[in-house]
Amino acid sequence: MFIVGLNGSPNKDGNTKFLLNTVLEEAKNLGAKTMILEVQELLDSTKNPFCVVCSNPCSGVCYEGTKLEEAYETLKRADAIVMGSPVYFGSVSAQLKAFFDKTRKLRGEKAFCNKIACGVTVGASKYGGQETTMKALHDIMLVHGMTIVGDGYTEYDCGHHGVSAQKPAEKDEFAIKRAGILAKRLVEACKEKGIE
Would you say 100 and 85 are in contact if contact means Cβ atoms under 8 Å apart? no
The count of structural domains within the chain is 1
Q: Please tell me the distance from the alpha carbon of residue 19 to that of residue 102, in angstroms, as a whole number.
A: 25
Are 14 and 20 in contact by the 8 Å Cβ rule? The answer is no
Cβ contacts of 165-168, under 8 Å, gap ≥ 24: 165/15, 165/19, 165/120, 165/121, 165/122, 165/123, 165/130, 166/122, 166/123, 166/124, 166/125, 166/126, 166/128, 166/130, 167/15, 167/122, 167/123, 167/124, 167/125, 167/128, 168/15
C-alpha 167/C-alpha 124 separation (Å) is 5
Residue 26's domain is classified under what CATH number? Answer: 3.40.50.360
Range of the domain at 88: 2-192
pLDDT, tens digit only, all 196 positions of the chain: 999 999 999 999 999 999 999 999 999 999 999 999 999 999 999 999 999 998 899 999 999 999 999 999 999 999 999 999 999 999 999 999 999 999 999 999 999 999 999 999 999 998 999 999 999 999 999 999 999 999 999 888 888 899 999 999 999 999 999 999 999 999 999 999 999 8
